[in-house]
Amino acid sequence: MLLFKLECKRLFSGKINKLVLVLFLISGVFAIYQGAQGYKNIRIDQYKSKVVFQKEREHVTSRESLPEAGSLAYYASAPTKWQLSPWAALFVGESQSSMVATKIRATALQSQIFNREIVNPSQQRTGGLDLGFVLVFLLPLVIGIMTVTLISDEQHAGRWRLLNALPKSAFSQLCKQIALRFMVIWLLVVSLLLSAALLLSLPFDGVFWLVLTATSLYMLFWFSVAGLIMSFDKSSVVNSLAYLSSWVLFAMLIPGAVHLYLSNQFQTEAPLEISLQQRLVLNDGWDKDKQATLDEFLTHEPRWRDTAPLGEAFDWKWYYAQQHMSDLAVQQQWQEYIANNQRRHAQLQTLSALSPALYFQLKLNQLANTSSRDQADYQQDIVNYHNEMRHFFYDYLFFNKAISKEDVDNFILFEPKTSTMKSSASQNMWVLFISMLCVFAIALAAMVRLKQLRPA
Amino acid sequence: MINKKVMKIFRHELASKRKSPSLWLLFIMIQLLLAVALYTGWQQFQQSVQTQSTAQALVEQQWQAQPDRHPHRVAHFGHFAFRPPSALSFFDLGVNAWVGDSIFLEAHKQNSANFANDQDGGTLLRFSELSSANILLTIWPLLIIGLGFASISGEQKSGTLRQLMSMGVSFRELVTGKSLSYLLLSVVFILPVFILSLVLASSAGATFSSEGVVRLLLLFSVYLLYCLFWIGLTLLISSYVKEPKQSLVLLTSIWFILTILMPRMLAEFAHTQNPHQKRNDFELAVKLDNRKVGNSHNPDDPYFSKFRAETLKKYGVDTVEELPINYKGLVMQEGEKLNAQIHNKHYEKQLEKFSAQQQFIRQFYWLNPYLFVRDFSMALTRTDTKHFLDFEQQAEAHRYARIQKLNQLHTNEIDHHNDRDQKVHKSYWQEFKPFSYQAPDLTWSLSVFSWLWLLPLLVVIAMFITLNTKGMQRRIYATV
């Protein structure tokens, strides 16, 4: 007990140690606060979009006579919603830089789907500071600064030789010191996570424990790196430099290289080409035979085959048929583009194994439903909803069914799919298990090497 | 100031660094990294130039190849504006990943730039791309720290400082000699990437002018200033802290705070202080304002009733049918004008928010030269937010002019009676000038910095003055 007190005293006596811990805590609190703000804004955006749509709908139904279905569909911009987990406040991923409440209407999908959120690009370039950043990138540095010079400091102070002469080996002493540091940092992490959970009223469900376990594992990894570096029995300076270099490698260089590789490998001009072609088809349609366009449309949408032929005057049903035909004209490119993105996500998943920092970051984002894969899922939800919405209006447009106020009230709303979140739970356990094995192997290697260490 | 002793220290320091294998390894790796970054940056740049110019040519050709059409049909057909990458963007990618490259220009609606290259940004771009500028900004300082963290404290610890002093070498000479050697090393290691950039940039031909050379020279000097800042800081900390290990830990902590933590905190804080509107809010605000002003499609709309009365009065007729021109075209022109005014009003507000955010960060240039060099570098390579917004504004100006020209055609060439069924001859489409982005000149690029560059420079000078003060010298002598 006395020794423990002594160790604690030593740990907190260094100015640098204290500075680093305080810095870590401040960044953590700042990140949680900012994250909560950002998440609140997302929720407001999503909620507001819903309310605005509701208001517009009430406005329409309060009128004496409803506008015709075509005109109604033209102005009905219905909200959608990227279903984020509340953890998105802590692991923001793509959620702060992309649309979380895209509005969509029954006109051509391709001229709506590429809309972007308004961001301050300077802020995006800086990189953002969420709790994920603090855990993935700042935490290892804290571990390094407090651990990597343990042995060399003992040597420097002349105690290492002494400790080795004691009946209880220097190794067990070292283990205690490392364990103490682990506990101190771990407690800080837990208190950050707990306060975040309370502040954001996150449920203490599987995800919470998963995040905690994964973070502990990630900590263990960096402690093992520090242990491995120490086991080479070099000076404090060499140890520090080696640790810093591994941090730069895992945190900056590998993710940067992966980004370069992916942008190179999956380089695509598809969005641009799709937009250009779709617009051309859409506009050329006005100069084409309208009945022919409608007939072609009906081969794709046979449910409305029995519609009456077009008359002389402008007809909304031609308008929407033509809109949809322009989407179909780029259908193949669009599918290829989606497939390309899926391959990219899969490749990123594989490559992320190169760096634990990258891997951990990706997993955290995926847990919070904010990764680019989740974004792609949301996009797919939008596409599906757009289909439902089109079909909703087609009955009125093609069969001249009169639209009633009740119909407007029963207009289908966007339902986010949550299946992706749940199906991955068992998968998560496997991933965690395998990572655990890997980290334990590294930790074991570090322990074995450290145990063999003897003063020269 | 530079005497024989200084030169001796300088040569000795260089010689001792030359012997360190780990430094050699690190230097080689950095050079490789810079080379890879420059190469990929160059590839991306060329690819981007190719894509943007082909696409721009394609849309111009599509525009001109249109058949006889009603002008308003053409206004909805619209046009595209593409943002060609700036000549030096291969060196500093700046905000390029986060902003779109093209804007769809159409009637009644101001679209934003789409198709950015920010996929997986939340996972992979947490430290921005591996561009040459980014490597020099974040990784290079670590090398300088590695070179010099022990330069004073190490000499002190090993006792060589005492020997040097007894040989009559003053602390001032020691510091000057060491600074010079680190400066030389820095120059040697950052010069290749600048020379290569110059070669690459000049091979790009037309996009690169004599102004480009000035920009590159300024870039080189600002990065040299950045090196000097880190050299000064390293020597300062190394003199204050007695243990080399402590000075290393302290320096890396400072590095982390200055290049990683502080920029993020400031950017987030600036955003919370001056939040700009999100897309949905912005569009809603524009839509609501538009509704307030008037609906040109509604014949009983008060604004447009007044407009009709005024128009009739101006031409001295009683009905719109009697007008010598097409009233519907006039309404289109007026509607577009109002719509653009409303949009611009809200857009200006957004711009104010953006610049308030930037203004907040600029206050810290003196405290954190990283921020200054990063922003200055982006301004020089035309890759900062300001240059992007300039593109957006040029595109909007082009959109407005193009649509209004179409509306004039509508007014003058289409008869009011049976308006929708008429078309104008396709030869009119040839009269529209293509969109070409006018890259701003150096004065414009740097206008926000007016005297702001002076502060970081003063900070660096102050650091070296501190190193050379009597107090510092006494402090060192006392501990030797």
Chain B contact for A426, CB < 8 A? no
Q: What part of A 142-171 touches B (C-beta under 8 Å)?
A: 145, 149, 152
Among B214, B428, B194, B417, residue whose Cα is nearest residue B322: B417
Chain B contact for A51, CB < 8 A? no
Q: Say if A234 falls within a structural domain.
A: yes
CA-derived radius of gyration, chain B: 30
A-B CB pairs within 8 A amount to: 230
- Measure in Å the smallest separation between the Cα of B130 and chain A Cα atoms: 6
ipTM above 0.95, yes or no: no
Q: Say if A396 falls within a structural domain.
A: yes
pLDDT in tens, B34-56: 999 999 999 999 999 999 999 99
pLDDT in tens, A320-371: 999 999 999 999 999 999 999 999 999 999 999 999 999 999 999 999 999 9
**Confidence at residue B302, expressed as pLDDT on a 0 to 100 scale:** 84
**Distances from the Cα of A64 to the Cα of A55, A198, A393, B347, B469, angstroms:** 16, 50, 21, 36, 86
Chain-wide mean pLDDT for chain B? Answer: 90
Asked if B69's CB is within 8 angstroms of A372's CB, the reply is no
The two three-digit tokens of residue A325, written as one number: 């035909």
- Measure in Å the smallest separation between the Cα of A111 and chain B Cα atoms: 10
CA-derived radius of gyration, chain A: 29
Asked if B104's CB is within 8 angstroms of A41's CB, the reply is no
pLDDT exceeds 80 at position A9: no
Dist CA B17 CA B7 (whole Å): 15
pLDDT in tens, B169-213: 888 888 889 999 999 989 988 999 999 999 988 887 655 678 888
Q: Say if A12 falls within a structural domain.
A: yes
Residue B314 CB partners (closer than 8 Å, separation 6+): none
Confidence band for A379, pLDDT divided at 50, 70 and 90: very high
Map residue B421 onto helix, strand or coil: helix
B339 and B108 Cβ atoms separated by less than 8 Å: yes
Asked if A272's CB is within 8 angstroms of B98's CB, the reply is no
User: Considering only CB atoms, which chain A residues are within 8 Å of B59?
Assistant: 276
pLDDT exceeds 80 at position B295: no
- Measure in Å the smallest separation between the Cα of A263 and chain B Cα atoms: 8
Asked if B277's CB is within 8 angstroms of A41's CB, the reply is no
The range of the structural domain enclosing residue A348 comes to 2-451
Confidence band for B82, pLDDT divided at 50, 70 and 90: very high
- The residue of chain B with its CA nearest to that of A365 is B123
Kindly state the average pLDDT of the residues A39-57: 94
Kindly state the average pLDDT of the residues B221-250: 91
Which ranges in B363-384 belong to alpha helices (H)?
A: 369-380
Of B76, B78, B130, the CB nearest to A257: B130
Q: Taking the CB of residue A452, how many other CB atoms lie within 10 A of it?
A: 9
Asked if A118's CB is within 8 angstroms of B55's CB, the reply is no
- Measure in Å the smallest separation between the Cα of B397 and chain A Cα atoms: 20
pLDDT exceeds 90 at position B219: yes
**Confidence at residue B139, expressed as pLDDT on a 0 to 100 scale:** 92
**Confidence at residue A336, expressed as pLDDT on a 0 to 100 scale:** 96
Q: Let me know the angle formed at the C-alpha of B81 by B38 and B68, rounded to the nearest 5 degrees.
A: 145
Confidence band for B382, pLDDT divided at 50, 70 and 90: very high
Asked if B278's CB is within 8 angstroms of A41's CB, the reply is yes
A70 and A108 Cβ atoms separated by less than 8 Å: no
pLDDT exceeds 70 at position B296: no
Chain-wide mean pLDDT for chain A? Answer: 89
A79 and A103 Cβ atoms separated by less than 8 Å: yes
Dist CA A196 CA A31 (whole Å): 10
Among B347, B448, B349, B446, residue whose Cα is nearest residue B397: B347
**Confidence at residue B408, expressed as pLDDT on a 0 to 100 scale:** 95
pLDDT in tens, A25-47: 999 999 999 999 999 999 999 99
Confidence band for A419, pLDDT divided at 50, 70 and 90: low
**Confidence at residue A455, expressed as pLDDT on a 0 to 100 scale:** 65
Among B89, B108, B86, residue whose Cα is nearest residue B42: B89
First to last CA, chain A: 30
User: Considering only CB atoms, which chain A residues are within 8 Å of B271?
Assistant: 120, 123
pTM of the model: 0.93
Of B122, B249, B256, the CB nearest to A93: B122
* Dihedral of alpha carbons B396, B399, B405, B409, sign: negative
Confidence band for B1, pLDDT divided at 50, 70 and 90: low
Q: Which residues pair with B81 in a beta bridge?
A: B103
Mutate to test the interface with A, among B49, B50, B61, B268 (most CBs of A within 10 A): B268
Q: What part of A 266-295 touches B (C-beta under 8 Å)?
A: 267, 269, 271-272, 275-276, 279-280, 283, 286-287
**Distances from the Cα of A128 to the Cα of A376, B28, B127, B256, B262, angstroms:** 22, 31, 9, 15, 11
pLDDT in tens, A122-154: 999 998 899 999 999 999 999 999 898 888 777
* Dihedral of alpha carbons B210, B216, B221, B225, sign: positive
**Confidence at residue A30, expressed as pLDDT on a 0 to 100 scale:** 95
pLDDT exceeds 80 at position A69: yes
Asked if A372's CB is within 8 angstroms of B252's CB, the reply is no
pLDDT exceeds 90 at position A162: no
**Distances from the Cα of B158 to the Cα of B147, B151, B177, angstroms:** 17, 11, 19
Asked if B122's CB is within 8 angstroms of A96's CB, the reply is yes
**Confidence at residue A456, expressed as pLDDT on a 0 to 100 scale:** 57
Asked if B95's CB is within 8 angstroms of A125's CB, the reply is yes
**Confidence at residue A203, expressed as pLDDT on a 0 to 100 scale:** 86
To which residue do tokens 């590429």 refer?
Answer: A114
User: Considering only CB atoms, which chain A residues are within 8 Å of B261?
Assistant: 23, 27, 129, 138
Residues in chain B: 480
**Confidence at residue A167, expressed as pLDDT on a 0 to 100 scale:** 63
* Strand ordering across the sheet containing B102-106: B79-82, B102-106, B109-110
Of A16, A123, A237, the CB nearest to B253: A16
Confidence band for B25, pLDDT divided at 50, 70 and 90: confident
Map residue B101 onto helix, strand or coil: coil
Kindly state the average pLDDT of the residues A63-74: 88
Give the DSSP letter of residue B277: P
Q: Taking the CB of residue A383, how many other CB atoms lie within 10 A of it?
A: 15
- Measure in Å the smallest separation between the Cα of A166 and chain B Cα atoms: 28
To which residue do tokens 């050299």 refer?
Answer: B231
Confidence band for A172, pLDDT divided at 50, 70 and 90: confident
Element (H, E) at B176: helix B171-203
The two three-digit tokens of residue A61, written as one number: 């139904």
For chain B, give the percent of residues with pLDDT over 70. 98
**Confidence at residue B15, expressed as pLDDT on a 0 to 100 scale:** 87
User: Considering only CB atoms, which chain A residues are within 8 Å of B89?
Assistant: none
Map residue B311 onto helix, strand or coil: helix
Dist CA A94 CA A372 (whole Å): 6
**Confidence at residue B470, expressed as pLDDT on a 0 to 100 scale:** 84
Asked if A116's CB is within 8 angstroms of B261's CB, the reply is no
A130 and A148 Cβ atoms separated by less than 8 Å: no
User: Considering only CB atoms, which chain A residues are within 8 Å of B113?
Assistant: 116
Over the range B194-224, which residues count as b (16 or more CB within 10 Å of their CB) and which as e? Answer: bebbbebbeebeeebeeebeebbebbbebbb
To which residue do tokens 């996570």 refer?
Answer: A193
Dist CA A420 CA A367 (whole Å): 11
Three-state DSSP string of chain A: CHHHHHHHHHHHHCHHHHHHHHHHHHHHHHHHHHHHHHHHHHHHHHHHHHHHHHHHHHHHHHCCCCCCHHHHHHHCCEECCCCCCHHHHCCCCCCCCCCCCCEECCCCHHHCCCCCCCCCHHHHHHCCCCHHHHHHHHHHHHHHHHHCCHHHHHHHHCHHHHHHHCCCCHHHHHHHHHHHHHHHHHHHHHHHHHHHHHHCCCCCCHHHHHHHHHHHHHHHHHHHHHHHHHCCCCCHHHHHHHHHHHHHHHHHHHHHHHHHHHHHHCCCCHHHHHHHHHHHHHHHHHHCCHHHHHHHHHHHCHHHCCCCCCCCCCCHHHHHHHHHHHHHHCHHHHHHHHHHHHHHHHHHHHHHHHCHHHHHHHHHHHHCCCCHHHHHHHHHHHHHHHHHHHHHHHHHHHCCCCCCHHHHHCCCCCCCCCHHHHHHHHHHHHHHHHHHHHHHHHHHHHHHHHHCCCCC
Chain B contact for A237, CB < 8 A? yes
pLDDT in tens, B308-320: 899 999 999 988 8
State the DSSP string of B204-218: TGGG--HHHHHHHHH
Element (H, E) at B103: strand B102-106
